[in-house]
Amino acid sequence: MSDNVRVRFAPAPTGYMHIGNLHTALFNWLFARKMGGAMILRIEDTDEVRSTPEALDVIYQGLKWIGLDWDEGPDVGGEYGPYVQSERLGIYQEYLDQLIEAGRAYECFCTPEELEERRQVMRARGIPPRYDGRCRDLTEEQKRKLREQGLESCIRFRVKETGTTVVKDIIQGEVTYENSLIGDPVIVKTSGFPTYHFAVVVDDQLMQITHVIRAVEHLPNTQIHLQLQEALGIEPPAYAHLPLILGEDRTKLSKRHGAVAVTDYEQQGFLPEAMFNFLVLLGWSPGDEREVMSRAQIMEAFSLEACDSSPSVFDVQKAEWMNGEYMKLMDGEDLAGRLLPLLQHEGLMEENPSAERREWLVGVVSLMKERARLLNTFVSWGRYFFTDDYEYENRARKKWLSREEVPERLELLAERLQLLEAWEHQSIEAAVRGLAEELGLSAAKVIHPCRAAVTGTTIGPSLFHLMELLDQNDVIGRLHRAAQLSRAGELEPGPEPESQ
């Protein structure tokens, strides 16, 4: 009765969620929300070996991080539950009986060793290896004997031997498969667990899924699913197979590509909004030249038909750029809120900062966000805001801190700054420039050494604004410290290869 869109994201709980899974989830979610439909989360744990219960949390967290929600699932329930396949074992039996009755499923007693052996033979003879149908037509008598020998059986689905199966896919178009080319797949393992093919078909039917949106690696499997559906009298859902996300080497993104887990990107300081935006642009485009788009804009423009069928490479550099764009767009207060946990984790901010201290952080963030790409940037480039314990970079040492004339300048500047009653960027600037003038130097000749001393680096935001955010005495202390170290010859540049 309902022609409402229902989609599902159906991950296997293997302990981590990678960017490709998230991409699939994202497209499902977008489509569901765009169409005013329902998003279902289903856990496909029929692979007893690889599935772990702890993995559920990883899935929830990954989805929540990027801002996806679901209407039905193991945690929120729903009227088509349970939503974990291992809890649905009884449900599959009914469908299995149906297939057996129709003569489309049968017991197979072949052992893995036998199967492997026969595969070898087929290969050697140049025949594509597939199940040869040996147990297809066993008599009751034969089965009894095999059982008496103590052999275990699995159940196979009898596929069609002739004709073709056509997958009509919203993204991939019509793809035709020759039925004679596939062997009978196992649908129930000796353990009694259904296999992926069987469980998917049954569950999608029972959960009234209207659109199966998944990665294209499942496209070849779809021919089996269609045959299974036909045998069960099930109307197939619409299919949309998303192109794969590849690593730099153009192979399917996997653990060997380094950072692929969603949590890796979270830890690197990616904003979920940016990752969402970036990911949606892999395999889809609004058709115009927009790239940085709000979620509302994306949803407005989104359609499955506009998805591309060719795979795409995950380019971290562009992802970082986009993250930077989002940081610029976000107001300082929001961004400070995102950043705080990270800073606390690094021990750079106290656990319960006062309102004043938070406000100060907003100031720091506002000053830095224009040039930062990741949240982590604040920890690395912005360390000097939070602690006196920062390094003097080689470039800073070489260009300024190791110079003979510098210590005196720093000390003179410290004296001037000490006299300031108002610690504001205007007064600081006046003091710095005033000193330069008196010494007959260009302002830069004071500014640069000062930056090097106070921040340890040669680059960063406006020096005067930055100093304003630091404590006056602290700055003075830093100037004296650098002057002393410099005189002591401790700020000589390190070994060359350091610089990049």
Partner RNA sequence: GGCCCCAUAGUCUAGAGGCCUAGGACUCCGCUCUUUCAAGGCGGCAGCACGGGUUCGAAUCCCGUUGGGGCCA
- Categorise residue 47: left if φ over 0, alpha if ψ from -120 to 50, beta otherwise: beta
Q: How far is the CB of 277 from RNA (least distance, A)?
A: 11
Write the DSSP string, 416-450.
Answer: HHHH-SS-SHHHHHHHHHHHHHHTT--THHHHHHH
String of contacts with RNA for each residue 220-249, x by CB under 7 A: xx---------------------xx-x--x
Q: Residue for token digits 């596929």?
A: 159
Residue 400: CB minimum distance to RNA, A: 11
Closest distance of CB 376 from RNA, Å = 11
How far is Cα 371 from Cα 364, in angstroms, rounded to an integer? Answer: 12
Selected binder of RNA within 282, 365, 453, 475 (CB under 7 A)? 282
**Which part of the chain contacts RNA (CB under 7 A), choosing from 22-30, 91-99, 120-128, 340-348?**
120-128
285 is an interface residue for RNA by CB under 7 A = yes
Backbone angles phi, psi at 226, to 5 degrees: -65, -40
Nearer to RNA, 40 or 431 (CB): 431
Structure tokens at 391: 């390094």
- Under the criterion CB under 7 A, does residue 161 sit at the interface with RNA? no
| Distance in Å, CB of 75 to RNA, minimum | 28
Which one among 299, 313, 379, 485 touches RNA, defined by CB under 7 A? Answer: 313
CB proximity list for 184: less than 8 A, separation 6 or greater: 108, 131, 133, 136, 156, 157, 158, 159
Q: Give min distance, CB of 419 to RNA, in A.
A: 21
Of 43, 187, 202, 216, the residue at the interface with RNA (CB under 7 A) is: 216
Which residue(s) pair with 38 in the sheet? 6
3-state helix, strand, coil in the chain (%, to 5): 50, 10, 40
Using the rule CB under 7 A, give the single segment among 86-94, 98-106, 318-326, 348-356 that binds RNA. 318-326
How many beta carbons lie within 10 A of that of residue 388, not counting itself?
Answer: 12
Q: Strand, coil or helix: what is 106?
A: strand
By CB under 7 A, the residues from 163 to 182 that bind RNA are 172-173, 175-178, 181-182
Q: Is residue 108 near RNA by the rule CB under 7 A? A: no
List the interface residues with RNA, window 348-387 (CB under 7 A): 370-371, 377, 381
Q: Distance (Å, rounded) from C-alpha 321 to C-alpha 306? A: 24
**Distance, CA of 260 to CA of 281 (rounded, Å):** 17
Judged by CB under 7 A, which stretch of 29-37, 262-270, 407-415, 463-471 contacts RNA? 463-471
- Binders in 430-459 for RNA, by CB under 7 A: 443-444, 447-448, 451, 457-459
Residue closer to RNA (CB basis): 141 or 289: 289
| Contact positions with RNA (CB under 7 A) in 64-103 | none
Residue 347, Ramachandran bin (φ over 0: left; ψ between -120 and 50: alpha; else beta): left
- Residue from 87, 308, 388, 405 touching RNA (CB under 7 A): that is 308
Alpha helices in 83-192 (DSSP H): 89-101, 112-124, 140-148
Q: Which of 143, 255, 318, 328 is the catalytic position?
A: 255
- For RNA, which is the closer residue by CB, 29 or 131? 131
Q: What is the CA radius of gyration of the chain?
A: 32
Q: Which of 461, 470, 476, 486 binds RNA (CB under 7 A)?
A: 461
- Asked if residue 486 lies in contact with residue 402, where contact means CB atoms within 8 angstroms, the answer is yes
The answer to whether 136 and 111 are in contact (CB under 8 A) is no
Is 255 a residue of the active site?
A: yes
User: Could you say which of 60, 321, 360, 390 contacts RNA (CB under 7 A)?
Assistant: 321
404: buried, middle or exposed (CB in 10 Å: 19+, 13-18, 0-12)? exposed
Main-chain phi, psi angles of 38, to 5 degrees: -110, 145
Q: Which is nearer to RNA, 38 or 219 (CB)?
A: 219
Tokens representing 480 are: 């004296």
Binding flag, residue 188, RNA (CB under 7 A): no
Binding site for RNA (CB under 7 A): 115-116, 119, 123, 126, 128-130, 172-173, 175-178, 181-183, 216-217, 219-221, 243-244, 246, 249-252, 281-285, 287-289, 291, 306, 308-313, 315, 317-318, 321, 324, 370-371, 377, 381, 443-444, 447-448, 451, 457-465
Residues with a known catalytic role: 255
